[in-house]
Every structure is written in structure tokens, then in C-alpha cells.
Chain A
Amino acid sequence: MTSPAISVDSLVKRYPQVTALAGVSLEIPAGCIYGLVGPNGAGKSTFIKCLVGALRPTGGSVEVLGIDPVADRWRLRRRIGYMPQEIALYDDLTVRQNVRFFGSAHMGVGLDAAVDRVLAFVELTDRADAPVHTLSGGMRQRVSLAGALVHPLDVAILDEPTSGVDPELRRAFWDGFRTLRDGGATVIVSTHQMSEVVECDRVAIVNRGRLVVEETPEDLIARGARQVRIRRKDGTVEEVPVGDYRTELPGLLGIDVETIELVQEPLEDVVLRLIEGSR
């Protein structure tokens, strides 16, 4: 079995006024797209900052690519790309200058070609020489993502990369994340958009600094309650919860049944219910 890209054991991060992470344990397999889902203030960004060594955990342990992110941060940072939640860019510089600057910490040879490539990926080639302060919020988000992905990496850690991005480009981003994964990288994406859960290979739902559930999107969908809705010819509608509808359905069927519909609880409701349940 291959070793996980990231191992987190009983991770605690406590501030004087608040406990941001209250003992999170999980393993993230190498070469997957891993989603961190939760409402604002759930602890996603704190978790991510512990992964990149920007925060020193109060307790527990973290290993990224087998490296302690705090004790051996410089060795780790050569192998990761990080996009912060806040758009941390230099407003007075152009798009290209910003991306180039973040790439300069990792590579000298081939940097110009890498900048061109990543600008094409975020669809900003035609705005490469525009100062960042002239761009819209969504475009700045794209510059920030480009700054994280400009260099060769083993793990991409992206804090809400699709926030403020239009649906078409969002799809392009996810295609890009899949390309990164298919190239062998592990991609960690935090989001509070439930619709993006299905784009991930595995998902961790966090709330109030705790891990609520960790599984595949398919397993998450299967948690949704199912019911059979029976609309009779006389106009009455009956909704009956079912487990395995294939075996239970025949017993439910009677005369005057016109249609039988399988209704799947939306994934967003499942996630929100899990979050509610964790309170």
C-alpha cells in the first residue's frame, strides 16, 4: 500500500479565545483530489495553514509527504503549491510579475515558460501585462491560483480556489485539478460550495473544528434518505421512506398506482444535515 500524502493525527489548534481545531485525524491518499467542506469558520483554513506550516499546532501531529510542516518547512515548501483564501497579491504589479515572483522562489530555468503555461490555464494570457489592481475579483482569484500552481509540485493546497469564479471557468479549474491529479499530484481543495463535493475523490466535512465525516462523494450521496412517492389516480400523493426499494417496492404497489418516482435527497441537504448533527 502506498503511504498517504498527508497524515493528520489528533490535530488541535487553540487560540486564547477559541479552539479552531479540536482533534482532527485523517489521512489523505496520494494522487487524489481531496475536498475539505464546511461552513465559514469551520476550521478549514486553520487546518490548511497547519498543513503548510504557517501555523504551529497546539497539539497532535501533521505530516505532509512524510515531512513535519513546522520543523522541516523549507524542505516541504519546495514540493507544495499554496493558494491562500485571501487574495494575497501585489496590486501595483502586473499579472505576469505577480506569478513570476511566486515562481521565482522555486525555479529559475524554465520559469518564463511555466508562467505562460499557468496563465493560459487560468485564462489570463491576454491580461498578463495588466496591473492587478485593474482586475475584477474573479480575475484576481485566478492570478492567485496561478501563483500557487506555477512551479512543479507534489501537493497543491488550495483554500477556496473557486470562490468568486464564474461557472464556466470553475469547470475549467476542476478539469485542471484533475489534470494535476492525473499527473501524480495530490490536490487539496477547501470549499463551502456543496455542489463541488462531487468533483472530489474523497471528502472531509468539518464543522466547529471537528471532522464530521470523511468518505467518497458516492458514499456521501448514499447517506441521503430515499423515499418512494406514489401518486394515485384519484390525485392523492403518498411518500413512503424505503431502504432497498427494489425489494420493498412490490409490497407498496397497489391498484390505482400511476407512477413511481425515486427521489434522492440533494447532496447539499445531506452535508448540511451532517453539519447540523455535529452541533
Chain B
Amino acid sequence: MKTPNALSKIGAIARRVLRQIRGNRRFSVAMLVIPIAILFLLKVVFDALEVPSVAQRRFAVLGVAYLIHFVAFLLTALVVVGERVQGTLGRMFIAGYRRGEIVAGYLVSYTIFATVQGGIVLAVAYGLFDLGYDIAELAQIFLVVWLLAVFMMALGILVSSTARNEVQVIPFVPAILVPALFLSGMVVDVRRFPTWAQVLARFTPLYYAVEVFGGFFSVGSVFSDVGSFLLLPSLAVVVFGVAALTLREER
């Protein structure tokens, strides 16, 4: 009997995950509503502080990136650990799904989810903060946010390999996502930090997105420094590879 090839198995996993997301309406609505609600609150705070609209637009773009990267990481890490706890991850392996196929299947499905989520959240931010960018500029912002989300999903899967249950994922949330707020360059230019903090900043994936957005805000293109732009997908691929290698079934 001819067994299905890797692409077909990746497709089966991705379809299954997307069906689960669709079947769990409360979860998928929360994943959309919460980032939008946070953006709305951010707008209220900015208005109260009378932050100039140019600065508001900058923070809105970085805020969208931060929120999407937060959700992408948390979602994949928790879901993969949940599968391990329920035994479905182990069962998938024994059914004949290989670890590269499993990691790729998760990435494809959550990337589709992040695409929809990123698009909607960016559209809301556009209206809320009066971003005023044209389609080409919005597409560039979306591309960076999307690449960052994929990076974070790979990181979420990698972190899930080190946790035996959902509770063990919790310490990674402040460890990875909170330092990103102030080390990535979102709030303060990284070059003003002492050297050791500049080195530490490079361990926050958001740093690479903020670097790319730096070019966008100054010259209007995320491709102004191609090397800086390519770092984001390159690092995502590396983390994906490590995640695929470390996803283990046997003890």
C-alpha cells in the first residue's frame, strides 16, 4: 500500500488544527478580540497623555507586532504542550506522523490563523490610529508582523519541548515576552543601552522586527536594510529546525 507523502501528512495536521480552532469558537474569538481591545486601550492612554499622532502611529505599528507575537508564542506553546499532556502528540507519532511533519503542520495552520488575525488587527489599528499608509506600506508592515509571528510559533513549539505540562510553560511568558517590551527597542533605542543589554536585546525576537520597522519609519521601506530584514526569516528557519529536532516522543 502506498503511504501518503510528507506534504499530504503536513496538510492533514494543518487541516486538523484549523478545524479545532474553528470548532472552538470561544477561543478563536478571544484571540481576535483581546488584541483589538488592548489596541483600543492603548489609544485611550495615548490620547490621555496627548501623545503626538506621529508617535502614536509608530507605537500602533509596534504594538500590533508585539500583540501578534505575544499571541503566536503563547498559542503554539500551550497547544503543543496540551497535546503532549492529552497523549495526542504521542499518538500522532505512533500513527506515523514524523516530527518535522508535525512541526510543519502546526506552523502552517497557525500561520494561516496568524495571517487572518494579523490582517484584522492591523485593519483595526489602521482605523483607530489613523495610520494613513498606502497599500504597499501596509503590506510591508503586515509582512514583518507575519514573519515575526512565524518566528514566535517556532519558538513556542521549541519551548513546548522543554515543558511537561501547561504550568511549566508559564515561566517562559514573562521570561520571553516581558523583556521584549523594553529590550527590543520598542520604547528606547537599543544603542543607548550598555553593551551587555544590547547583547541581551538580540535574544528577543521582537528586536529584529523593531530594527526592520526602524528603516520603515525613517525611509518608508522595510527593505532599506536587506540584511536586517532577512535576519527575521533566517532566524525563524533556524528556530524551526531546532524545534523540529527537539520535539521528542520517547523518554
Chain B stretch 50-100: residues in CB contact (< 8 A) with chain A: 86-88, 90-98
Interface of A is mostly: loop
Taken together as a complex, chains A and B put the C-alpha atoms of A170 and B236 apart, in Å, by 50
Is A89's beta carbon under 8 Å from chain B? yes
Is B12's beta carbon under 8 Å from chain A? yes
Cβ B91 vs Cβ A77 within 8 A: no
Closest residue of chain A to B25 (Cβ to Cβ) is A92
Assuming the contacts A88-B87, A93-B19, asked whether A106 and B93 have C-beta atoms less than 8 A apart, the reply is: no
Cβ A105 vs Cβ B4 within 8 A: yes
Give 1 or 0 for each of A57-70: 1 = CB within 8 Å of chain B CB: 00000000000001
Chain A stretch 64-86: residues in CB contact (< 8 A) with chain B: 70, 74, 77-78, 80, 82, 84, 86
**Chain B interface: which size bin?**
20 to 34
- The minimal Cβ–Cβ distance linking A158 to chain B, given in whole angstroms, is 12
Chain B stretch 96-115: residues in CB contact (< 8 A) with chain A: 96-98
Cβ B16 vs Cβ A101 within 8 A: yes
Cβ A90 vs Cβ B90 within 8 A: no
Taken together as a complex, chains A and B put the C-alpha atoms of A90 and B249 apart, in Å, by 18
- CB-CB under 8 A from B12, the residues of chain A are 101, 104-105
B87 contacts which of A74, A78, A84, A108 (Cβ < 8 Å)?
A84
Taken together as a complex, chains A and B put the C-alpha atoms of A107 and B94 apart, in Å, by 15
Give the size of the chain A interface in residues (CB under 8 angstroms): 31
- The minimal Cβ–Cβ distance linking A194 to chain B, given in whole angstroms, is 26
Give 1 or 0 for each of A78-121: 1 = CB within 8 Å of chain B CB: 10101010111110110001000110111111000000000000
B249 contacts which of A54, A82, A86, A88 (Cβ < 8 Å)?
A54
- CB-CB under 8 A from B88, the residues of chain A are 88-90
- CB-CB under 8 A from B3, the residues of chain A are 78, 106-107
User: Which residue numbers of A lie inside 8 Å of B, CB to CB?
Assistant: 52-56, 70, 74, 77-78, 80, 82, 84, 86-90, 92-93, 97, 101-102, 104-109, 131, 147, 152
Nearest first, the 10 closest Cβ-Cβ pairs linking A and B are: A88-B87, A92-B23, A104-B12, A105-B96, A88-B91, A105-B95, A86-B87, A77-B96, A92-B20, A88-B88
